[in-house]
Structure 1
Amino acid sequence: MTGLATHTKTAAEATRGTGVKVFRADIEGLRAVAIGLVLLYHADVPFLPGGYIGVDVFFVVSGYLITGLLVREVERTGRVSLARFYARRAKRLLPAAALVLVTSALLMWATASVVQWRAFAHDIVAAALYVVNWRMADRSVNYLAEGTGASPVQHFWSLAVEEQFYIVWPLVLVIVALIARRSGRPIRPLMGIGLALIVVPSFLWATMTSGSPAGFFVTTTRLWELGVGALVAVAGAGFLSRPAARASGIVGLTLVVGSAVLLDHTTPWPGVWTLLPVLGTAAVILAGAADERDAPRVLQLRPVVWLGGLSYSLYLWHWPLLIAAENVAGELSVVERLAVVAVSLVPAWLSLKFVENPVRFSGRLARSNALTLGTGAGLTAVGVVAGLLLASAVPSAPASSVGPGAASLVSKTGDVTPPDVVAGGAFAPSATLATEDVPAPYGDGCDVKIEEVELELCAYGDPEGTKTVVLAGDSKALQWFTPLESIARENGWRLVLATKSVCGFAGAIRPGADGAPYTDCGSYNEALLDELLKIRPVAVITNQVHETAYDDAGELTEEAMVDGLASYWSQLEEAGIDVITLLDNPPPHDVPVGDSEVYMCVAEFPTQLDRCAFERPGSAATSWASAQVGAAERVQDVDVIDMNDLLCNKDVCPAVIGGVLVYRQGSHITDTYARSMTPVLASRLVPLVGES
C-alpha cells in the first residue's frame, strides 16, 4: 500500500509552508511499527491480539503522504496533474504487485486443492484490478463462500481501499483548486472542507456498520482513516510547541502499540475504537512535522527505518507464503508462522532491489507519464492474466451423465436399501463444480443474506395452487428446495420460500457466523412467525443445522434450542398450521483433506472414494437433529420426516451414491443429489400435507 510505500530518497528537508517532508525517517519508523504489528498478528503471537490495527496505521500514513504531495503541487502550480499523480502511483505500486500476483497464482497451483483454484483465480484478478476488497466483503457475508479458505491475496484488500481513495481524492482536489483559483481563497481551508465531506460521513457509516463482516473490507467505512492523515497534511506544521510535539509523539505511539495489545478480534471494527490507532498515528506524524527531532527517537533508529523502507514489499510477500505453507503442512504453530514471516524478508528485499526500485527510479519513465501509465496498464494485465491462467488450469469435468443418485437405493416396491461405500467410478457433479451445484433461489436472490434483516418471501410451485406450503429455516432447509418445488408443481401447491442464511426458524437466539449472538436472526424470525400466522399456510416445512441456543444464563444449550423450536411450532399448530420437520443430515468429519469438506477429498482421491466416506456420528436415528426430535416430542401433531436413510447406512455416510456426489459444502447436499431424492420425499411428505 502507499502508506507502506511512498517516499523518495531526496534530502530530509521540509518544503516551505507545507509541513510535509519529502522524506522523514520517523515516518519510515512508523511504517516499521505498522508492518511489525501486522506480521506478528498474522503469525498468531498471543500478546498482540489487536495487531490488525497496523493496517489502520498505514491508512493514516498514506493519507498524509499523498495529500502532502498534492498540497505542494497545488500551492506551487495552482493545479493537480492527474497524469503525473497516477503515473507515480503506477511506478511505485504495480511492479511488486504484479510479481506477487504471478507468484501467488503459481503457489496456489502447486499447493492448493484444485477445487480452490477457480475462487483464488478470481481473487487474483480482483486484486490486480484493485477491487478485491469488495469481493472479500461479499465473501464474508456469502454463506455459499464458506469453506473456500483464506485467499492468498486477501491482504490486497487494504491496497484496494487506498487506490480507490486515490481515484476520488485527487479529483476532489481538482475541483477545490479550481474554486480557490476563481474565488481567490486560500487552498488549505477549502481542502479541509473537502476532506470533511469525506471523513465525517465515512466515520458515521463505519460506526453504524461496526462489527459487520462486510464493513471491515468496504471502502466507505475506511475513507475517513485516510482522510484523517490528509487533514494532518493540510493542517501543516508549526502550531505545536516543541514540548507539545514531543508529548504528542509519545502519547501517539503509546496509543498505537497499546491498541495492538489491548484490542482483539471481538472489538467491533472499524468504528469508535478505531479512533485509538488512527488518532495515535496522527499524533506521531504531527510530532515530527515541524522538526524531526521531536518525533520518538525509537522510530528513527537505522534498523527500524530500514524495515519501514521494506514494509510494502514485506506486506505483499508474507501472506501468500503463509497460505502456501499451510496448504503444504497443515495448521502451523506460532514458531512455524514466525519462521515463514522471517523467510518472506528474502523475496521482499530481492523484489525491492531488482524489481521495484529499477522501475521506480527509471529516468525514461520519469520523462513520460504516458509511457509510465502504459507500463502500469501492462503490469495490471500481467496480474489479470495470472489469475485467468490459474482458472483455466482447473481440469474439465470428465464427460459423464448424471447417475440415478438416491434412486439407485429404491426398489420397485419403494423399499430403501442402505447405501454402500464405493471406491471409484464416474460421478457428477464434478468436485471442482460442487460448490456451484446449489438450488435456484440463491441465483434468484430469494435467500435472505446474513447481513440482511428484511423479510423476503418468494413464491414457487404452482402459482394457482389451492394449498400454500412454506419452506422456512436456514440453508439446510433451502437444500431441499428443488425436490419440494417439483413436488409442489406435481400436487398443485403454492410453495413459499422463507429462508435466511445461518438462521434456523426458532424462537431462540443462536450464534451467528462470527460466533456472536445472532440477534438479527431473532428479529427476522419474529417477523416471519407473525407473517405465517397471517397468511395461514396449510403446512410449514422446516429444517436447520444448529441444535444449541443461548439460555437465560447466556450459555449455549440444546435445551434452549428445543424450547425455541417448541415455542414456534406450538403457536403454528394451535393456529391450525401443520409443522413438518425434515431431520438434519449428519455432518462430515474426519475427512482426510479439506477440513472435512467431502468434495475437496473427492477431488484429491477420485479413484479412492472410500477414503472420503465418514462414520455416522451420534444416534443413527437423529444425528445432528436431536433438538428437532426433542421439540417434536413436546408439540403434539408435529410431523417428522427422516431422509437420512438415503444418505447413510447405520455406520457410514458415503461421498458418492448412485454416481452422484452427495456433498457440496460442509453437510450441505448437492442440488443434484437432492433432486434424486424427490420420489422418496414425495412418498413421505404428500400424505402429511394431504391431511392438513
Structure 2
Amino acid sequence: MSGASGPHAAGRKDGLRTDVQALRAIAVTLVLVFHLWPSSITGGYVGVDVFFVISGFLITSHLLGRRPRTGRDLADFWARRIRRLLPASLTVLVATLAATRLLAPETRWGATADQAQAAALYYVNWLLASSSVDYLAADDAPSAVQHFWSLSVEEQFYVGWPILVLVLGLLGTVGALRRHSRAVLGAGLVLVALASFAWSVYYTAADPARAYFVTTTRVWELAAGGILAFGVTGARWRAPRAGSALAVLGLLLIVVAAVRYDEGTAFPGTAAALPVLGAVLVIAGQTAPSSGVGRVLAVRPVQWLGDVSYAVYLWHWPIIVLLGEVSGRLGVLDSIAVLASTLVLAALTKKYVEDPFRGGRWSVRLRDTYVLGASGMAVVVALTLLQGAELDRRQARAQEQLAQATDDPCFGAASLAPGAACEPPTGAPVPAPATAAEDRSEAYEEVGGRDCWASRPDFDDVRCSFGPADADVRVVLTGNSHAGHWLPALQVLAQSRGWRIDTYLASQCALSQVPQRFDTDAHSRACQDWVRRTTATIAQEAPDLVVTSNRISVSAVGVAPQDNGAAYRSGYEAVLREWSEAGLAVLALHDTPAPGDGGLHSVPDCVAEHLDDLEACSAPRSEWEPDDVVVDAVAAIGDPRVRSADLNDLICGPQRCEGVVGGAVVYFDGSHLTATYARTLAPFLAPVVDDLLPEPRAGRAVG
C-alpha cells in the first residue's frame, strides 16, 4: 500500500513509473471488487500481495539509491515513511472511530477501539492473529479498521528491512568480504526471503488462521520485490518486446490467482507465490509508456487510480462496514455508493492530506516529523482510551441494573417455568448489550483470569478447578464451548453446597470419538487425541458426577453429510460407554438453541440495534434448536447412571426462541449462553443433578 515513488524507468514527468502505478491500480481494484462483490472475484484478496511486492521493490530501490550507513540515515529513511504514510492513515482512523461511535451499535465500540489503537501503533496484524483461532470470535462482525493488518505488516517491514540493509552493508566492508560486498548484500536478502517463505509454507499448513496475518509469513513477499530491485539496479531491457511479454505474463498470473483462489485456499503459503511472481514479472518487464502494453497501463484513469490507491485502500473498508450498519445488507446501489464515496474521499485525502505533508516546510526537519507523527498516534490512542472509559462507565451501570434484576422472581429462565405467571418486562434488557457480549463464564481468560480451553493447533490438556480443593463432592464439566457455558449454572449449585468443579474443555472440538474436520489434518488428529485422553483421564479420576454437553460445528471426516449425525452418535457412545464401565454418574445436557444457525450471529448486536423491537431478535424454535444425537447415545448405553436432560424449554418458548427472555439477554454471541442467563437456569438444573448424586452428597436444592 505504500505510495513511495520509485525508480525513473518507464516513468512519467513526476518520476513515477507508469507500469508500477498501473500495478497499484490493479491491486486496489482487486481488493475493492472482492470486498464489494466477493462472488465475482473470489481471490481478489491477492491484491494485497501485489501491494507487498510493489512496496518491497520501491523501498529497496530507495535504500540502494541512498544506502543507509549510520543511525542518522535510518532516522531519515523512517522520517520519509512517516511523512508518506501516517497522515492519511491517522486521519482515517480518527474519522472511523467517530463514525463508529455515531453509527454502529455499542457492541462494536470496544473491539473497534482496541483494533484502532493497535492499528495506530502498527501491530494490529498480531492482534488479529491472536484472535483468529478463537472459535467464539468466528462470528464476530469485522471491525471497520481490520484492513489495517496489511499496513502493519508493511510498517514492520519498513522498520526491519533498512536495518538489515545497513548491517549487510557494514558486513561487506569487513576483511575479504570487501571484494564481494554486493554479493553479501544480495545473499543476505535472499536468505531472509527463503527463510520467510519456508516458514510461510509450514505455518500455513500448521495454523492457517494465524499464518494469514503474522508478519513472518509475509516478509518474503516484500522481500521478493526487494530482491528484484537489487537485481535490476541500473539495468534496463534492451528488448522491449521481451519486457512487454513479461508484463503480460505477470498480469495473467495475477488474474488467474484472483479468479481461481477463494476463501478455502490455503493462504499465503505456496499459493501466494502465484500473485507474487506475477507482480515481480510486471515490474521486471519495465514496460515503457510507448510500448503496446505500456500505452494501456499509462492511460490517465489507470494512473490516477494508482496515484490514489493508498487512500482508496484506507477508506473503502470503513465505508463498507459502517454503511452496512446503517442499511443492513449492502445492495447494488449501496455498493455503488461505497465505490463513489471511496474515490471522492481518496482524491480529497491525496490532495489535502498526503501531498501537503510530503512537501510542507517542516517535512525536511527530522525532529518535527517524529514529533508530529507521535502526536498523531497519541491522539488516536487517546480517543480509543476515552471510548474504553465510556464503556467502563456503561458496564458499571449495567452491573447495578443486573443486581436489581436478579431479585425479580420472573427474571430470565424463571419466566418460562411451568406455571409461571410473569408479565412482560418493561425495563431495558440486562446485561446491557455491550456488557452482554463479554458476559461469559469464568472459564475464559478475560473473565476468570485463566484460559481453561484446549485449542488449536495442539489441543493440549487443560484443567481448571473452581471451589475448595478438599470438597467432598467433585463434579467434572467437559465438552466443547457448549459445555463451558453451563459453568455459571453449576457454580451456583457448587457455591451453596461446597462442591469442587473441574473443567476439561476444548474450543470447538466435541467430546466424541469421531475424527472431526478442522482446517488441517494435524488439527483434526489433535482434537481426536484430546478426546481420547480426556475420556480416559476422567474415567481414571472417577469424579462424583460428569456433566457434558457439545455443539457439533464441524463435520465428521470421511462420511457423507447425511451420515454426520450417526458418526457423532457412535463417537458419543464410545465416550459414554467408557465412563459407564468405570461406574461414573454422567449427565449429558441437550445442546442449546443457537441463533447463528438461523443467521443471527450476534444477539447483543441485534438487541443493541432493536431495543424498541426485540421481536426482531427472535425466530421459530425449529430454526435455532439443534437435533442432538447424544440423547440417542445415552439411550443406547442403557445405564441408569448415564442420563440426558433437556432444559431448552427454559430457553425457548413452545414456538419461538427469543434473544431476550424474562428481561435477560440469553446469548453473548450467536450460540453461547450469557453467564447471567446460565445462572438463572441453576434452580432447574439442581434436581437433575441431585438425582444422580448419591445421598447425602447432593445437599439441599437451590431455588
TM-score scaled to structure 2, two decimals? 0.87
Residue of structure 1 in register with 2:73 after alignment: 81
Residue of structure 2 in register with 1:682 after alignment: 686
1:480 maps to 2:472: no
Alpha-carbon shift at residue 563 of structure 1 (Å)? 2.4
1:526 maps to 2:532: yes
SS in 1 for 2:502: strand
Counterparts in 2 of 1:421 and 1:630: CA distance versus 1, 3 Å: farther
Counterparts in 2 of 1:519 and 1:641: CA distance versus 1, 3 Å: same
Which residue of the other structure, out of 417, 425, 437, is the alignment partner of 1:435?
A: 437
Query: Aligned equivalents of 2:122 and 2:22: distance in 1?
Result: 27
Residue of structure 1 in register with 2:160 after alignment: 168
Residue of structure 2 in register with 1:508 after alignment: 514
Which residue of the other structure, out of 335, 340, 354, is the alignment partner of 1:342?
A: 340
Query: Aligned equivalents of 1:90 and 1:537: distance in 2?
Result: 60
Preserved CA contact (<8 Å) 1:252 1:284:
yes
Residue of structure 2 in register with 1:634 after alignment: 636
Alpha-carbon shift at residue 547 of structure 1 (Å)? 7.4
SS in 2 for 1:663: coil
The aligned runs of 1:238-637 (5 Å cut-off) are 238=235, 242=239, 244-288=242-286, 297-333=295-331, 336-366=334-364, 368-392=365-389, 394=391, 396=394, 397=397, 399-400=400-401, 401-404=403-406, 408=410, 416-418=418-420, 422-425=424-427, 427-443=429-445, 444-465=450-471, 468-488=474-494, 493-510=499-516, 512=518, 520-546=526-552, 549-550=555-556, 552-555=558-561, 557-588=564-595, 595=600, 597-606=602-611, 609=614, 612-617=617-622, 623-637=625-639
Residue of structure 2 in register with 1:49 after alignment: 42
Residue of structure 1 in register with 2:186 after alignment: 192
Query: Aligned equivalents of 2:483 and 2:157: distance in 1?
Result: 42
Query: Aligned equivalents of 1:151 and 1:496: distance in 2?
Result: 35
Alpha-carbon shift at residue 585 of structure 1 (Å)? 2.0
Alpha-carbon shift at residue 178 of structure 1 (Å)? 2.1
1:174-196 Cα offsets, whole Å, 9 max, x none, are 22222223442444322223323
Which residue of the other structure, out of 199, 212, 215, is the alignment partner of 1:216?
A: 212
SS in 2 for 1:668: coil
Preserved CA contact (<8 Å) 2:10 2:288:
no
Alpha-carbon shift at residue 351 of structure 1 (Å)? 0.8
Counterparts in 2 of 1:618 and 1:39: CA distance versus 1, 3 Å: closer
Residue of structure 2 in register with 1:107 after alignment: 99
1:129-177 Cα offsets, whole Å, 9 max, x none, are 1111122222322234344312111111100001011111122222222
Counterparts in 2 of 1:455 and 1:185: CA distance versus 1, 3 Å: farther
Residue of structure 2 in register with 1:17 after alignment: none
Preserved CA contact (<8 Å) 1:465 1:493:
yes
1:148 maps to 2:140: yes
Alpha-carbon shift at residue 502 of structure 1 (Å)? 1.5
Query: Aligned equivalents of 2:4 and 2:482: distance in 1?
Result: 49
Query: Aligned equivalents of 1:342 and 1:259: distance in 2?
Result: 27
SS in 1 for 2:82: helix
Alpha-carbon shift at residue 262 of structure 1 (Å)? 1.4
Query: Aligned equivalents of 2:561 and 2:521: distance in 1?
Result: 13
Query: Aligned equivalents of 1:676 and 1:114: distance in 2?
Result: 25
Preserved CA contact (<8 Å) 1:132 1:156:
yes
Preserved CA contact (<8 Å) 2:596 2:670:
no
Matched AA of 1:649: G
Alpha-carbon shift at residue 468 of structure 1 (Å)? 4.5
1:646 maps to 2:639: no
Residue of structure 2 in register with 1:18 after alignment: none
Preserved CA contact (<8 Å) 1:188 1:234:
no
SS in 1 for 2:461: coil
Alpha-carbon shift at residue 624 of structure 1 (Å)? 1.9
Matched AA of 1:387: T
Residue of structure 2 in register with 1:29 after alignment: 22
Query: Aligned equivalents of 2:179 and 2:408: distance in 1?
Result: 77
1:235 maps to 2:231: yes
Alpha-carbon shift at residue 478 of structure 1 (Å)? 0.3
Counterparts in 2 of 1:596 and 1:207: CA distance versus 1, 3 Å: closer
Alpha-carbon shift at residue 216 of structure 1 (Å)? 0.8
1:617-663 Cα offsets, whole Å, 9 max, x none, are 379xxx32432222222221231122234323323445445554332
Query: Aligned equivalents of 2:621 and 2:109: distance in 1?
Result: 30
SS in 1 for 2:595: coil
> RMSD of the TM alignment (CA)?
3.4
1:135 maps to 2:139: no
Which residue of the other structure, out of 192, 204, 207, is the alignment partner of 2:198?
A: 204
Preserved CA contact (<8 Å) 1:288 1:295:
no
Preserved CA contact (<8 Å) 2:139 2:601:
no
Preserved CA contact (<8 Å) 2:93 2:145:
yes
Alpha-carbon shift at residue 324 of structure 1 (Å)? 1.5
Query: Aligned equivalents of 2:183 and 2:250: distance in 1?
Result: 25
Matched AA of 1:631: A
Preserved CA contact (<8 Å) 1:533 1:575:
yes
Matched AA of 1:602: V
Matched AA of 1:231: I
Matched AA of 1:566: E
Query: Aligned equivalents of 1:325 and 1:187: distance in 2?
Result: 54
Alpha-carbon shift at residue 232 of structure 1 (Å)? 1.1
1:29-49 Cα offsets, whole Å, 9 max, x none, are 111111111111111253421
Query: Aligned equivalents of 1:419 and 1:584: distance in 2?
Result: 27
Query: Aligned equivalents of 2:523 and 2:423: distance in 1?
Result: 39
1:500-532 Cα offsets, whole Å, 9 max, x none, are 111221123445589999554334323323433
SS in 2 for 1:209: helix
Matched AA of 1:545: R
Counterparts in 2 of 1:91 and 1:436: CA distance versus 1, 3 Å: same
Alpha-carbon shift at residue 90 of structure 1 (Å)? 0.8
Query: Aligned equivalents of 2:653 and 2:408: distance in 1?
Result: 13
1:61 maps to 2:72: no
Counterparts in 2 of 1:618 and 1:87: CA distance versus 1, 3 Å: closer
Which 5+ residue runs of structure 1 have no aligned equivalent? 15-20
Which deviates the most, 98-107 or 84-93?
Answer: 98-107
